[in-house]
Structure 1
Amino acid sequence: MFKHALRLPFRLLGIPLYLDLTFLIILPLLAWLIARQIEPFITLFHLPVSPGALNEGLLPYALGLAAALALFISVVIHELGHAIVARRYGVETERITLWLLGGMAQFKKMPTQRGAEAVVAIAGPITSGLLAALGGLLLWVVPERWPALLFVVAYTTFMNIALALFNLIPALPLDGGRVLRSLLAMRMPRMRATQIAATISRVLAIALGVVGIVSLNIFLILIALFIYIAVAAEARFELADELLSGLRVQELMSSPVIAMPATMSVGDLLARMLRDARHAYPVHDEGGEFIGMITLKGLQNAEPDAPIGDYLSELPERIDPQASAADLLEMMGRQDEPRVLVMPEKGPVLGIITRTDLYRALQLLTGRAPAPGH
């Protein structure tokens, strides 16, 4: 997910911020929609503003863009609320991504303490509620002679209330769904709690989809589809996490590591790939130190006589051989690279694990695991 996101050249509280390409589409569309609804919004917010004063020339579109940007800034602050509370449990946030349906904070892992997921999840709606309260105070302070600012503050306040309430819907992966799952997990196994929360989420997703179709609301339909698809992925991840929880990384790795010298020709490597049925190898220099990865994709248009050292990509992430296979699953889930090097903090590379290795292990474990719910 978010493979085509653009990273912004700054961090917020040390967290990288990304813009998915869908965000670049929805931002101008949302700005245009707001601009076309200035008068209804003024009536809805009960603003002491003459609608005509905000509908002259390009002003509605400038207001629409300002209100849309303010909304997405509020979404980022909502996600920062999650991140700050997660840090209290020792969990770091890898990135925050703005996309078509809002924002998403990606954690390295979810806190494992009882009830911690609920606390981290509820922090988002609480943050949005506090922003709405701040907006309400500003509406008392901003003078009526500044109608444009009044409109933007009123719109942002209203949307923060909507954001808080929407995220409290008890459907995964929304905050309300995570709170529900966390509270259920305090009374039963987490897998069972996930199954119950997933069932509720699917029902709510179908209900939202029906309402969206009847009301011709494309956003509700998209949200319903997102929830329905995402909750299935959430349930699969929890099952995989449970199956792998008793295994160590060293039990899954392929060893010894087959590495190629940087001086090897592209033609020789392609012949080796065909013989071994492999698509990638670590590459070492003359001293035997790993300096990168060579992949079949990276060799496109390469000269057959050229050294493979000219076409290297970065080495993948590394994981300790004694780490839990469940930690490996989380690492694989948050990165685009389909392989991980296995090595201790101080020591040589012991092996390599690909997504195929992980999926094969899950298939074997699923074959001998009891069916979910039994």
Structure 2
Amino acid sequence: MTATVTLGRIAGVRIGLHWSVLGVVAILAGAGFARWPEVVPGYSPVAYAVAAVAGAVLFLVSLLAHELSHALVARGHGVAVDGITLWLLGGVARLRGEASSPGAELRIAGVGPLASVVVAVLFGLLAWVSTLLGITGLVIVVLSFLTLINVVLAIFNLIPAAPLDGGRILRSALWAWRGDRYRAAVWSARAGKGFGFGLIVLGGVWVFTTAGPDGIWWILIGLFIVTVATVEEQQARTSGALAGVRVRDAMTSRPYRVDGSTGVTTFLSELAPVRKHSAFPVVDVSGRPCGLVSVEQAAKVRPERRHVTTLAEVADSLADVPVVGPDEALTDVLPRLDGSAGGRALVVEDGALAGILTSRDVSVISTLRGLDGSAGGRGAGTIFRPAG
């Protein structure tokens, strides 16, 4: 899930919003604006609108607290964090890699629901203190709503079904019991698919028996859970098959590279047609890698500007391209590879370009090791945590 807008960083973790998060705000704010006048009548429409929007925004803050707790605990256990994105169905903490032990997996997963409970308690205390101070009406309604919805968030995420936190907890327990993290992940994913299909059926029955729209929300959540759980099952199978494989075993060694000072015209007319690659590593004057350029990127330069534009100007820099080492475990690299544009990573050793790793390379070695060649998706090790 790629953020549409980046808000900044909290404790070093990049925070972003996907455009679909506006749907959450609209749904929650609309529900509050429609129902709260019946609960606490006597306020102006503007007051109800402000309260409803404030409640929706504070709910997003609650989601952020939930996801941030995952990210910080994961980082404390040595798992790199790409960032957090809030979107239509909750939040996503993008963790690069997996926990090193069942205990670490349990702590990373369990802290999310715990954070939601803590947030619920804080809002509950605020409601209680506000009541003692004689504050009533809309303020209490909003605080009570936030208390309740965070309790629901914690309970829902404890359901033992991937990709929910409860599924991670189930996976850690099965991993500790059987000693096989990949088989534990498969079982957790299957539980997630079963739960997701159950939500879809429940939502369908709700829609057709009550003629109400609320069931559509459960159908969407069910579809999301089934989709992610299916991907996670494939990831687990891929990870099990690729256990012990290093990047150097799969990468393309000594790839053709282009100088960053090369003009776009020369690249498109002389180099790309001959080499017939879709992307090329870019090196600086000293021969060290400085980025990656695709034929598509170069072709987007206006024809009249191509003769004065260099590849270094249009290429993705190393900050935007996954850079991996040849001795890294392939399963640890897959999340970065699949999260990149084009599914490519530069392999660098001692500052020099050692190779390039692509999704095709992964598919080839997966086929050689007995898989169906479809290893892909987000990659083993990406933890996709929907909060809500």
Identify whether the pair has TM-score above 0.5, normalized to the shorter chain. Answer: yes
Label 1:267 to 1:171 Cα distance change in 2 as closer, same or farther (>3 A).
same
1:185-216 CA deviation, whole Å, 9 max, x = no partner? Answer: 11222222222222222221111111112223
Specify which of 152, 175, 182 is matched with residue 162 of structure 1: 152
Partner in structure 2 of residue 52 of structure 1: 41
Partner-residue secondary structure (3-state), 1:366: coil
Label 1:80 to 1:347 Cα distance change in 2 as closer, same or farther (>3 A).
closer
- Any residues of structure 2 matched to 1:265-284 within 5 Å, and which? 265-270=263-268, 271-284=270-283
Partner in structure 2 of residue 372 of structure 1: none
1:124-173 CA deviation, whole Å, 9 max, x = no partner? Answer: 11111122222222222103444221111111001011101111111110
Partner in structure 1 of residue 380 of structure 2: none
- Are the equivalent residues in 1 in contact too, given 2:288–2:351 (CA < 8 A)? no
- Are the equivalent residues in 2 in contact too, given 1:211–1:220 (CA < 8 A)? yes
Specify which of 302, 320, 332 is matched with residue 325 of structure 2: 320
TM superposition shift of 1:306: 4.2
TM superposition shift of 1:264: 3.3
- Are the equivalent residues in 1 in contact too, given 2:239–2:331 (CA < 8 A)? yes
Question: Is 1:136–2:139 an aligned residue pair?
Answer: no
Specify which of 355, 358, 370 is matched with residue 351 of structure 1: 355
Specify which of 330, 342, 356 is matched with residue 347 of structure 2: 342
TM superposition shift of 1:96: 1.0
Report the count of equivalent residues: 356
- Comparing 270-279 with 284-293, greater Cα deviation is found at 284-293
1:220-265 CA deviation, whole Å, 9 max, x = no partner? Answer: 1111001000001111111122222211111112121311223434
Q: Distance in 2 between matches of 1:225 and 1:57?
A: 36
Partner-residue secondary structure (3-state), 2:356: strand
Give the counterpart letter for 1:284 in structure 2.
Answer: V
TM superposition shift of 1:119: 1.9
Q: Distance in 1 between matches of 2:239 and 2:127?
A: 48
TM superposition shift of 1:94: 2.0
TM superposition shift of 1:359: 2.0
Q: Distance in 2 between matches of 1:83 and 1:265?
A: 42
1:62-86 CA deviation, whole Å, 9 max, x = no partner? Answer: 1110110111111111112222322
Give the counterpart letter for 1:313 in structure 2.
Answer: D
- Tell me, which stretches of 5 or more residues in structure 1 are unaligned? 43-50, 370-374
- Are the equivalent residues in 2 in contact too, given 1:262–1:307 (CA < 8 A)? no
Partner in structure 2 of residue 208 of structure 1: 199
Question: Is 1:331–2:339 an aligned residue pair?
Answer: no
Question: Is 1:74–2:65 an aligned residue pair?
Answer: no
- Any residues of structure 2 matched to 1:280-295 within 5 Å, and which? 280-295=279-294
Specify which of 176, 183, 196 is matched with residue 192 of structure 1: 183
Identity %: 30
Question: Is 1:361–2:365 an aligned residue pair?
Answer: yes
Partner in structure 1 of residue 14 of structure 2: 16
Give the counterpart letter for 2:324 in structure 1.
Answer: I
Partner in structure 2 of residue 239 of structure 1: 237
Label 1:293 to 1:202 Cα distance change in 2 as closer, same or farther (>3 A).
closer
Q: Distance in 2 between matches of 1:317 and 1:84?
A: 22
Partner-residue secondary structure (3-state), 2:337: helix
- Comparing 278-287 with 317-326, greater Cα deviation is found at 278-287
Specify which of 163, 168, 171 is matched with residue 161 of structure 2: 171
Give the counterpart letter for 1:209 in structure 2.
Answer: I
Q: Distance in 1 between matches of 2:261 and 2:147?
A: 61
Q: Distance in 1 between matches of 2:261 and 2:15?
A: 39
- Are the equivalent residues in 2 in contact too, given 1:122–1:179 (CA < 8 A)? yes
TM superposition shift of 1:368: 9.0
- Comparing 130-139 with 204-213, greater Cα deviation is found at 130-139
Q: Which of structure 1's runs of 4+ aligned residues deviate more than 4 A?
A: none
Q: Distance in 2 between matches of 1:38 and 1:174?
A: 31
- Tell me, which stretches of 5 or more residues in structure 2 are unaligned? 208-214, 374-388
- Are the equivalent residues in 2 in contact too, given 1:319–1:328 (CA < 8 A)? yes
Label 1:220 to 1:149 Cα distance change in 2 as closer, same or farther (>3 A).
same
Label 1:313 to 1:260 Cα distance change in 2 as closer, same or farther (>3 A).
same
Partner-residue secondary structure (3-state), 2:317: coil
- Are the equivalent residues in 2 in contact too, given 1:121–1:175 (CA < 8 A)? yes
- Are the equivalent residues in 2 in contact too, given 1:294–1:308 (CA < 8 A)? no
- Comparing 208-217 with 299-308, greater Cα deviation is found at 299-308
Q: Distance in 1 between matches of 2:302 and 2:130?
A: 63
Partner-residue secondary structure (3-state), 1:93: strand
Question: Is 1:32–2:30 an aligned residue pair?
Answer: yes
Of structures 1 and 2, the one scoring higher in RCO (CA 8 A, sep 6+) is 2
- Comparing 298-307 with 64-73, greater Cα deviation is found at 298-307
